[in-house]
Amino acid sequence: MKKKFLTLCMLLLVCGWGHAQRKKLLLNKNWKFTFGHVVKWNGPSERINLPHTWNNLDALGGNIDYYRGLGNYERKVFIEPEWKGKRLTLRFLGANSIANVFVNGKHVGEHRGGYTAFAFDISDFVNYGKENSVWVRVSNALTLDVMPLVGDFNFYGGIYRDVELYVTDQQSISLMDYGSKGVYLHQQSVSKENATVQAIIKTQGLKDAQLRLLLKNREGKVLQTKEIDKEKHLKGKDTYYLPLEILKPHLWNGKKDPYMYRVIAQVVDNGQVIDEVSEPLGLRYFRVDPDKGLFLNGSHLQVRGVCRHQDRPELGNALSKIHHLEDAEIMEEMGANGLRMSHYPHDPYMYDLMDEKGFVVWSEIPFVGPGGYRDKGFVNMESFKANGKQQLIEMIRQNVNHPSVLFWGLFNELKEKGDNPVPYLKELQKLTRKEDPYRITTAASNQNGDINTITDLIAWNKYNGWYGGKVSSIALWMDKTHEVLPDTPIGISEYGAGASLFHQQEELKKTNPVSYWHPENWQTHFHEGFWEAIDERPFMWGTFIWNLFDFGAAHRTEGEKPGKNDKGIVSFDRKDKKDSFYFYKANWNKEEPMVYIAERRLSERTKKNQTIKVYSNQKSVSLSVNGKKIKGRKGSYGRFYFEIQLKEGENRITAASGKHLTDQIELTLAKQTPAL
């Protein structure tokens, strides 16, 4: 009885009971975890909370043989007796990558794919008024019919996002449509004068109840109330349609004004709301011009984008909301306005944050090619192709209401050699247009050929000056590509170079990218050159830094540490921002005054004469060395240069703009050896 009371109190605390509306219980605590090779009921187990991955340690040390196999998650859930006759739905926000769910020992269902939500109706599997066992068997083993097959990132296994139990009336809005919440808001036409939105609601078991749709403004005021008539002749599907007309809409305008309405879908029985789903509605219109780039609500928007992977040291991909929020705040600090969610759909909370903060989002399925590796990203077999379509539909239906999402990404670095993915990509393009004809498709390529002609837009992963060539050659590539493809909007989906905070050099010297030595100043040089070339070419519809953060890649043996891709401009643990971060902040963030002395980690110098570079978004910067002011010159793109002389021993360098904006470092000059 005590256990029942505690469970009931938890539900009241987490969800609120309302008037018989849906209830949501978060099932993140008190799971028992065992590896797949543990077969005894009383075998060794670990008590864990979700989010969880079993690869948080072994995949992050350069161990290419990190465990890719089966893991078991078990817990008890008390099912209240008053829930009998209700609909119980178990929803997982992410389990990588194949999950089989059992309730009381009976198989409920399987989901194949690690980056989208999925749900199972467990109403017929539970015992009411008793504790019920939930057993989830998750595998991250490589299989040739589940995307992705290969990638330059770790395939962490586990239930690494939230698990939810929904209790709804039998007459309810469906949670069973490809893991979505059952409410879709398609923006058919939007302008400053009016907007038409097609609302589609998927339901279950509707008999006598009625559907109601409310449109609320940001302050919660009801602007419209409509009831929905059921469509006939839909082959038994409970699908309802209703167009919303909004005059003089307040537009979602990116970072300038990320305004959102709310659309509330309700199931009403005898005047009482018995189920309800609330979804964001950010009204906006956009287009991409081959010569002028992206336009949002009629105004040009230069997409200053970053790419992001969803992992951290000691956590792997098992992140909590505080981690996603910290990442979003770092993006805001640097002044970015675009995010490529590479190479898979990210946590639902991250989409919410991007809506609220006004970022432009590129969301993609994990159709990832080999890059420079052996394995193929595509196998021409029906089960693989079916899985890709399933994951595409899941991504779209789960995220279609997010105003931040402008682009659906269909692949990354595929090759036409061997099994040619082009015919299949055409199927994915057609499917995407059917699911959501109101957004733009794109892809990240590193090839030439027909593969670049399928999506609405195309972008390339470019590393001129890192993997061969010179940084300056990127300008020539952009101009030449635009000349050859004058009617195709082009962009850069990745650009970056590796850097270790501990690798410092006095001279600017290019390194071998596959070597241990990844000096920070070469990464800075790379990004300065790329951004100058990009900024001068408005026809680039979008460009995305690879990567915002260092991330785990077990097979990598280069740079500061095995098992890490160090192309991030922020450290893996988010504690240190590399010099290139501040270069972008000086150029992208005009709201927060800043001054930053670059190359500060090269604290011991061997040459008396030094050039000090300062990044700032202010009009003027002064510098003093050991209290003595030094004249400098203002360069372009937020850079200021000062020629100084160091004394032997310690030197204090202070940069300032105005009275209160300062930055200070200390440099040590080694004792000079007299010339012979």
- What CATH number does domain 297-497+521-552+568-592 carry, 3.30.565.10, 3.50.50.60, 3.40.640.10, 3.20.20.80? 3.20.20.80
Res 27 pLDDT > 80: yes
Out of 364, 413, 435, 599, which one is annotated catalytic?
413
pLDDT for residue 560 = 87
**Right CATH number for 183-281 from 3.40.50.150, 2.60.40.10, 3.20.20.150, 3.40.50.40?**
2.60.40.10
The stretch 531-536 carries a mean pLDDT of: 97
Express each pLDDT in 181-193 by its tens digit. Answer: 999 999 999 999 9
SS3 (DSSP) at 523:
helix
pLDDT given at position 231: 53
Please name the fold of domain 2-170: Jelly Rolls (2.60.120)
What is the predicted pLDDT for the residue at 675? 57
When pLDDT is cut at 50, 70 and 90, the band that residue 45 belongs to is: confident
By the 8 A CB rule, do 451 and 467 touch? Answer: no
- Write out pLDDT tens, residues 615-666: 999 999 999 999 999 999 999 999 999 999 999 999 999 999 988 999 999 9
Angle at 659 between CA 657 and CA 664, to 5 degrees: 60
The pLDDT value given to residue 374: 76
What's the mean per-residue pLDDT of the chain?
A: 93
Which residues neighbour 276 within 8 Å (Cβ) at sequence distance 6 or greater?
21, 22, 173, 264, 265, 266, 267
pLDDT tens by residue, 375-418? 789 999 999 999 999 999 999 999 999 999 999 999 999 999 89
Average pLDDT of span 492-505: 97
Q: Which helix (H) or strand (E) holds 395?
A: helix 382-399
| 367 has a pLDDT exceeding 90 | yes
Question: pLDDT-derived band of residue 229, with 50, 70 and 90 as boundaries?
Answer: low
Domains 183-281 and 297-497+521-552+568-592 are alike in CATH topology: no
pLDDT score recorded for residue 9: 41
Look at residue 44 in the predicted model and tell me its pLDDT.
81
Mean pLDDT (whole number) for 580-594:
97
Q: Is 413 a residue of the active site?
A: yes
Mean pLDDT in residue range 323-344:
98
Output the pLDDT for position 1.
40
Rounded mean pLDDT, 528-554: 97
CA gap 219, 382 in Å, rounded: 49
Average pLDDT over residues 169-183: 96
What are the structural domain ranges in the chain? 2-170, 183-281, 297-497+521-552+568-592, 604-669
Q: Is the pLDDT of residue 267 over 90?
A: yes
Mean pLDDT of 8-35: 71
The contacts found for 104-109 with CB under 8 angstroms, 24 or more apart, are 104/132, 104/133, 105/133, 105/135
Phi/psi at 512 (5° precision): -85, 120
Give CATH superfamily name and number for 604-669: Immunoglobulins (2.60.40.10)
Q: 444: which strand partners?
A: 412, 459
User: 305 near 362, Cβ under 8 Å?
Assistant: yes
pLDDT digits (tens, 9 = 90+) for 271-329: 899 999 999 999 999 999 999 999 999 999 999 999 999 999 999 999 999 999 999 99
* Tens-digit pLDDT profile for residues 244-253: 999 999 999 9
CB 480 within 8 A of CB 490: no
